[in-house]
């Protein structure tokens, strides 16, 4: 009995192949975008985990200075002498050619077994070769590829290391990083001898740190991945509209069959069970296709994501994907769950349908306006909830909750808003065809509302994210002009060369401004400290958001500190707050400046104070002021005189172009996801129109019989789709602006620590409007063509059941 | 002569081959005349009515309306013919579900540029639809829907009304009342009537009767 019942249910799909294709396509597309994002995030997180696991940081306790400053090698020797089983690590960054690498120096002899990811004693490396100059650089294959042609110590490959990280001997690292006798931290072996002198006696300046379960990188990039996940989820939700729509139609069309099956004795429970099995099979097949498609999308997007992560956070993510069971599992789970959720209401309706219920399919077209009103009330409640969360909530999750509530609320209100608009159109129209057009369009609303809601989400996301990105771009370009006023930026290769370059430039330029810096731990997080000279360049151009009246005088006299916006927001700093610097110094905050694109906190002090408090600060970079037309010649002379590589002497335009390139790549992924989401929404409309086209014939046939040609009716069908898409676009603009405001004022502040001014870009809306219209035309084209080519015999069937 | 069918044949492709529905049928109808076409299910009555009403084209033969062969008209011309010359009443009513009764009644007349407000008001009153004008088809009974369909067919004062089993979906009493109403309205418009039915009782109320069997007039 069950087998026969199942065969009857499946026979529906044999007769409605297109509907079946749309269901599978919708679910596969929804799963694809979700899985693509998961695959990308999974790859990135695995890379962060590898980075965190390097030299056992995620498993071993460590000894370090409280503020994260380097410690002298003598402390290490004292601890070893006292019996402590510790192993030294030196970590720092170094640029090789155009590549900035994370250098990790370890002592292979004392390194605990838990921390030894790479066997340096292996035949192809050899302990002797590892520890004696020029040493060996161990790195991933991808990093080695990037270093081709660049002068480095001999390279060996290890897949255990994340991209961008180099493992080498501690002595070699001290040379490379120009940090003789310095260490970053000490790794503690898990088992220490019983009798050792207390740590407080041997190394009083050090503290024990627990293994780092989550890396700084992982924390920093969380918001980026949350953004991607949110987009993936949005795409999934848009895709689910297709699924909901296709399942809804299939269930409605099968009501007579279900009634018949029950009438001939099939128990209701068995029927429901068969339908669930059917859905499980369908969703599993579509889910598998979706995850496979997702890997395709992910592999296309990953290079841009990797570039974004490198540009924004300095995080290294490989450009190739690995197949992860978790992505397959999660993709299938969400496909199956999404399908069951989409079908739940329909299954419930079947379960509660009386045996003698009318067999005529009610279809969507008869859904009452009352249902639309109820739905709109729900939407309004969600909008209010979004406003309340945005006002009183805190944190990124609250931000996304507000965003989700706003989008869903707006989507739920859309059908009623469209219905009222179409009613108005009907009332205002004079001609009989126009009147019928509006009335008929309104009648189609319930059947198309899900697809239109999906379109609204996609358009609003496009308008909102577009506004955010464009606002960011506008602000960023202006900010770059302020931040990079100098004509040339020079990076020297050593402190010695730095002094010579400075002296050489001093007599040949208007000003040589040091950009010296170091990285410290402040407020428990890595913070960059920059020292700048007192010069009109800064006083006139620096992008201050808030400043005390005498801010620059305070900086010049070493009496004040500037902080970037992200640090100020993170630590809730206001002007006048004391900023703790090294050596027990604390200075008041005298200004807050914008610092877009920098994930880290940054403070600025006078260059004299920097040198005094941080004698080890890097003193390699300078900004050079000179007349624009003289800059190229000076750069050429500088390179010629000191043999500096091209990338060490760059002009303002090059840095700006580079920064903008990073910016564009950062948002390339967003743009791609935007287009894909819009594509899914267009398919949703297409799917709905296609499935409705069968039902449309009985509605259009009377108009045809009364004297409208099929060609004209087909044109009206396209016009109807365009009208609905246009009205949806009208609704999407305010929703998109709300979305942009939330992204700029809530999400960005929580995720990145900066708030951007909002600008509006009507030309972008026009472009989006044209895109929406094009999507609507494409979606309606095939059903309209089919209608135009219908034989009269098909239409007259509507009027008679017999020949 | 208003309508003249000459040796009209029509077939349809089916899964089991070609089905010959009409085999050389000829008939004629004068202005103001009423003709009942009877026959068993599948005899070709509805097909004949669809061909004469310009909804479909014959495989062969001529369909002359006021001496002009409508079988040779293109889609646009056929649509214009249906808009202006004929009124159609179907068994399933086939009202436009998105329009209210008032708009349904006026639809074809306005489409054909033959809307006459005074006539419409009179027609509405004769059909007893005054209180139903703002209702939608799904809110009406079968009898009420068929009265709207008749009103729609007559609103443009066409020369010929085609009615395909107009009472087929109604109970006997309602069907009789509806037919009575239609018959009483016809003289006011001067329209001829070609009605398909398999009820001999109803057919007997029309001026002339023809019987169709296996695609041929008996």
Q: Which residues of A touch B53 (CB under 8 A)?
A: 705
Shared-domain flag, residues A240 and A286 = yes
Shared-domain flag, residues A280 and A314 = yes
What stretch of H or E contains A72?
Answer: strand A71-72
Q: Which residues contact A326 (CB under 8 A, 6 or more apart)?
A: A38, A42
- Contact of B52 with chain A, judged by CB distance below 8 Å, is answered with no
Q: Which of A258, A253, A443 is nearest to A366 (CA)?
A: A443
Q: Which of A719, A697, A677, A725 is nearest to A789 (CA)?
A: A697
DSSP string for residues in A127-161: HHHHHSTT--EEE-HHHHHHTTTS--S-EEE-TTS
Q: What is the pLDDT of residue A58?
A: 65
Q: Which of A5, A16, A310, A7 is nearest to A146 (CA)?
A: A310
**Residue A252 main-chain phi, psi, to 5 deg:** -65, -40
User: CA of A188: how far to CAs of A63, A81, A234, A260, in Å?
Assistant: 7, 14, 46, 75
Q: Which residues of A touch B111 (CB under 8 A)?
A: 432-433, 706-708
How many domains would you assign to chain B? 1
Q: Which residues of A touch B79 (CB under 8 A)?
A: 704, 707-709, 712
- Which residue range forms the structural domain that includes residue A130? 59-211
Q: Is B135:A456 a contact under the CB 8 Å cutoff?
A: no
Quick check: is A326 in a domain? Answer: yes
**Residue B199 main-chain phi, psi, to 5 deg:** -95, 115
Quick check: is A635 in a domain? Answer: no
pLDDT tens for residues B95-138? Answer: 988 889 999 999 999 999 999 999 999 999 999 999 999 998 98
In the block, tokens 């009985």 appear at A698
- Contact of A610 with chain B, judged by CB distance below 8 Å, is answered with no
Domain boundary among A310, A337, A362: A362
- Do you find a cis peptide bond into A299, omega within 30 degrees of 0? no
Domain boundary among A148, A181, A211: A211
Quick check: is A631 in a domain? Answer: no
By C-alpha distance, the chain A residue nearest B89 is: A799
* Cβ within 8 Å, pair B41-A802: yes
By C-alpha distance, the chain A residue nearest B99 is: A439
Residue of B52, B56, B98 to mutate, testing the A interface (most A Cβ within 10 Å of its Cβ)? B98
Low-confidence ranges of chain A (pLDDT < 50): 358-367
- Contact of B65 with chain A, judged by CB distance below 8 Å, is answered with no
Q: What is the pLDDT of residue A361?
A: 38
- A residues 414..473 contacting B (CB < 8 A): 431-433, 435-436, 439-440, 442-443
Q: What is the pLDDT of residue A146?
A: 81
User: CA of A710: how far to CAs of A358, A702, A718, A777, A790, in Å?
Assistant: 32, 11, 12, 17, 8
Length of chain A equals 803
- Alpha-carbon distance of A57 to A184, in angstroms, equals 12
Quick check: is A662 in a domain? Answer: no
Tokens of B208: 């002339």
- Contact of B87 with chain A, judged by CB distance below 8 Å, is answered with no
* Cβ within 8 Å, pair A442-B90: no
Tokens of B86: 């004929």
Shared-domain flag, residues A600 and A698 = no
Residue of B37, B55, B115 to mutate, testing the A interface (most A Cβ within 10 Å of its Cβ)? B55
- Alpha-carbon distance of A484 to A534, in angstroms, equals 16
When pLDDT is cut at 50, 70 and 90, the band that residue B175 belongs to is confident
The SS3 assignment for B114 reads coil
Quick check: is A66 in a domain? Answer: yes
**Residue B63 main-chain phi, psi, to 5 deg:** -125, 100
- Contact of B186 with chain A, judged by CB distance below 8 Å, is answered with no
Q: What DSSP designation does A300 have? A: H
Shared-domain flag, residues A266 and A336 = yes
For chain B, how far is it from start to end, CA to CA, in angstroms? Answer: 22
* Cβ within 8 Å, pair A435-B42: no
How many domains would you assign to chain A? 4
* Cβ within 8 Å, pair B47-A803: yes
- Which residue range forms the structural domain that includes residue B87? 3-217
Task: Please count the other Cβ atoms lying within 10 Å of the Cβ belonging to residue A214.
Answer: 12
Minimal CA separation from B145 to chain A, in Å? 14
* Cβ within 8 Å, pair A796-B91: no
Q: Which residues of B touch A801 (CB under 8 A)?
A: 91
Q: Is B130:B147 a contact under the CB 8 Å cutoff?
A: no
Find the CB nearest A436 among B42, B53, B107: B107
Tokens of A280: 């499980």
Mean pLDDT calculated for residue range B146-169: 92
- Alpha-carbon distance of A361 to A256, in angstroms, equals 7
Q: Is A261:A269 a contact under the CB 8 Å cutoff?
A: no
- Contact of B76 with chain A, judged by CB distance below 8 Å, is answered with yes
Minimal CA separation from B97 to chain A, in Å? 7
Shared-domain flag, residues A244 and A356 = yes
User: CA of B27: how far to CAs of A3, A415, B207, in Å?
Assistant: 55, 53, 15
Shared-domain flag, residues A64 and A207 = yes
Q: Is A238:A461 a contact under the CB 8 Å cutoff?
A: no
Q: What is the pLDDT of residue A428?
A: 93
- A residues 690..729 contacting B (CB < 8 A): 698-699, 701-712
Shared-domain flag, residues A372 and A348 = no
DSSP string for residues in A687-712: HHHHHHHHHHHHHHHHHHHTT--HHH
Q: What DSSP designation does B136 have? A: -
Q: What is the pLDDT of residue A219?
A: 58
- Contact of B40 with chain A, judged by CB distance below 8 Å, is answered with no
User: CA of B7: how far to CAs of A60, A768, A792, B25, in Å?
Assistant: 100, 59, 21, 5
pLDDT tens for residues A250-307? Answer: 777 777 778 777 777 778 888 888 889 988 998 999 999 999 998 888 888 888 777 7
Q: Is A286:A343 a contact under the CB 8 Å cutoff?
A: no
Quick check: is A630 in a domain? Answer: no
Q: What is the ipTM of this complex?
A: 0.89
Tokens of B89: 């009443």
Shared-domain flag, residues A233 and A155 = no
- Alpha-carbon distance of A133 to A125, in angstroms, equals 13
Whichever domain contains B151, its CATH number is 3.40.50.300
Q: Which residues of B touch A715 (CB under 8 A)?
A: none
**Residue B170 main-chain phi, psi, to 5 deg:** -115, 155
**Residue A747 main-chain phi, psi, to 5 deg:** -65, -50
By C-alpha distance, the chain B residue nearest A700 is: B96
Quick check: is A660 in a domain? Answer: no
* Residue B37: pLDDT over 90: yes
Q: For residue B67, with 0-12 CB atoms within 10 Å meaning exposed, 13-18 middle and 19 or more buried, which class applies?
A: exposed
Domain boundary among A211, A245, A261: A211
Q: Which residues of B touch A436 (CB under 8 A)?
A: 96, 98-99, 103, 107
Shared-domain flag, residues A50 and A67 = no
Beta strand spans in A176-244 (E): 182-183, 185-188, 207-209
């Amino acid at each position: 009995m069950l087998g026969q019942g199942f065969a009857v249910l499946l026979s529906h799909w044999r007769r409605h192949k297109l509907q079946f294709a749309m269901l599978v396509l919708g679910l596969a597309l929804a799963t694809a975008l979700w899985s693509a994002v998961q695959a990308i995030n999974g790859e990135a997180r695995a890379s962060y985990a590898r980075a965190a696991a390097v030299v056992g940081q995620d498993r071993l306790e460590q000894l370090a200075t409280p503020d994260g400053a380097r410690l002298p090698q003598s402390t290490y020797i004292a601890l070893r002498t006292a019996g402590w089983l510790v192993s030294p690590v030196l970590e720092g960054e170094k640029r090789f050619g155009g590549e900035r690498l994370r250098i990790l120096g370890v002592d292979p002899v004392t390194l605990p077994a838990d921390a030894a990811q790479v066997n340096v004693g292996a035949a192809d490396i050899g302990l002797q070769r590892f520890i004696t100059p020029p040493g060996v650089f161990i790195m991933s294959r991808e990093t080695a590829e990037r270093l081709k042609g660049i002068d480095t110590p001999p390279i060996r490959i290890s897949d255990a290391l994340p991209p961008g990280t180099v493992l080498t001997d501690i002595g070699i690292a001290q040379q490379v990083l120009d940090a003789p006798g310095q260490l970053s931290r000490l790794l503690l072996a898990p088992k220490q001898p019983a009798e050792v002198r207390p740590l407080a006696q041997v190394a009083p300046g050090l503290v024990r740190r627990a293994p780092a379960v989550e890396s700084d990188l992982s924390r920093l990039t969380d918001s980026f991945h949350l953004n991607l996940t949110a987009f993936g989820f949005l795409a999934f939700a848009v895709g689910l509209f297709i699924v909901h729509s296709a399942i809804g139609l299939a269930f409605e069309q099968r009501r007579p069959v279900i009634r018949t099956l029950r009438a001939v004795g099939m128990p209701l429970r068995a029927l429901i069970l068969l339908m669930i099995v059917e859905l499980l099979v369908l969703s599993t097949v579509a889910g598998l296709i979706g995850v496979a498609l997702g890997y395709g999308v992910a592999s296309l997007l990953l290079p841009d994501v990797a570039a974004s992560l490198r540009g924004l956070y300095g995080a290294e993510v490989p450009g190739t994907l690995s197949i992860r069971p978790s992505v397959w599992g999660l993709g299938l789970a969400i496909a199956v769950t999404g399908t069951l959720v989409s079908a739940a209401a329909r299954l419930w309706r079947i379960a509660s349908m009386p045996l003698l219920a009318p067999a005529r399919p009610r279809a969507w077209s008869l859904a009452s306006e009352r249902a639309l009103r109820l739905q709109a009330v729900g939407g309004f409640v969600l909008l209010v909830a979004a406003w309340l969360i945005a006002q009183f909530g805190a944190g990124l999750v609250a931000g996304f909750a507000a965003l989700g509530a706003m989008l869903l609320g707006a989507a739920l209100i859309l059908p009623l808003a469209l219905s009222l608009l179409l009613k108005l159109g009907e009332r205002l129209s004079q001609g009989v065809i126009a009147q019928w057009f509006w009335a008929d369009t309104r009648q189609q609303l319930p059947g198309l509302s899900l697809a239109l809601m999906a379109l609204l989400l996609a358009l609003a996301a496009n308008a909102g994210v577009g506004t955010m990105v464009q606002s960011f771009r506008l602000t960023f370009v202006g900010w770059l002009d302020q931040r990079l006023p100098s004509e040339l930026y020079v990076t020297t290769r050593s402190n010695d060369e730095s002094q010579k370059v400075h002296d050489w430039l001093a007599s040949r330029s208007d000003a040589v401004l040091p950009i010296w810096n170091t990285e410290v731990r402040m407020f428990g997080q890595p913070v960059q400290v920059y020292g700048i000279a007192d010069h009109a360049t800064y006083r006139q151009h620096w992008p201050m958001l808030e400043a005390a009246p005498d801010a620059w005088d305070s900086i010049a006299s070493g009496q004040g500190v500037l902080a970037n916006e992200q640090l100020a927001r993170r630590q809730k700093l206001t002007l006048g707050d004391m900023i703790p610097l090294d050596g027990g110094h604390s200075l008041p905050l005298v200004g807050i400046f914008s610092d877009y694109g920098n994930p880290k906190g940054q403070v600025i002090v006078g260059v004299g104070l920097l040198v005094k408090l941080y004698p080890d600060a890097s003193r390699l970079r300078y900004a050079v002021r000179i007349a624009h037309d003289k800059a190229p010649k000076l750069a050429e002379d500088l390179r010629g005189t000191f043999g500096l590589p091209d990338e060490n002497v760059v002009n303002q335009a090059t840095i700006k172009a580079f920064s903008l390139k990073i910016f564009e790549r950062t948002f390339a992924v967003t743009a791609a996801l935007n287009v894909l989401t819009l594509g899914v929404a267009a398919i949703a409309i297409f799917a709905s129109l296609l499935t409705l086209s069968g039902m449309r014939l009985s509605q259009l046939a009377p108009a045809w019989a009364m004297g409208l040609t099929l060609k004209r009716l087909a044109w009206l069908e396209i016009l109807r789709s365009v009208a609905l898409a246009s009205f949806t676009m009208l609704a999407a603009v305010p929703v998109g602006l709300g979305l942009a405001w939330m992204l700029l004022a809530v999400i960005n502040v929580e995720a990145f620590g900066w708030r951007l001014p909002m600008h509006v870009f009507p030309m972008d809306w026009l472009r989006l409007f044209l895109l929406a219209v094009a999507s609507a035309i494409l979606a309606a084209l095939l059903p309209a063509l089919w209608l135009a080519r219908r034989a009269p015999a098909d239409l007259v069937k509507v009027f008679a059941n017999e020949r | 002569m208003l309508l003249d069918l000459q040796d009209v044949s029509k077939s349809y492709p089916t899964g089991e081959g070609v089905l010959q529905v009409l085999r050389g049928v000829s008939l004629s109808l004068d202005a103001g005349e009423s003709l009942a076409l009877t026959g068993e299910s599948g005899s070709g009555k509805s097909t004949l009515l669809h061909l004469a009403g310009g909804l479909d084209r014959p495989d062969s033969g001529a369909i002359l309306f006021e001496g002009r062969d409508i079988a040779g008209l293109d889609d646009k011309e056929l649509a214009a013919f249906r808009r202006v010359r004929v009124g159609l009443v179907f068994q399933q009513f086939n009202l436009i579900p998105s329009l209210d009764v008032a708009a349904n009644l006026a639809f074809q007349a306005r489409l054909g540029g033959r809307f006459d407000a005074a006539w419409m008001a009179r027609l509405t009153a004769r059909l007893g639809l005054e209180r139903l004008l703002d209702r939608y088809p799904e809110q009406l009974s079968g009898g009420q829907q068929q009265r709207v369909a008749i009103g729609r067919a007559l609103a443009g004062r066409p020369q010929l009304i085609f009615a395909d089993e107009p009472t087929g979906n109604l109970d006997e009493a309602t069907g009789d009342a509806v037919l009575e109403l239609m018959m009483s309205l016809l003289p006011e418009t001067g329209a001829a009537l070609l009605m398909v039915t398999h009820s001999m009782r109803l057919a007997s109320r029309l001026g002339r009767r023809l019987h169709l069997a296996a695609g041929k007039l008996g």
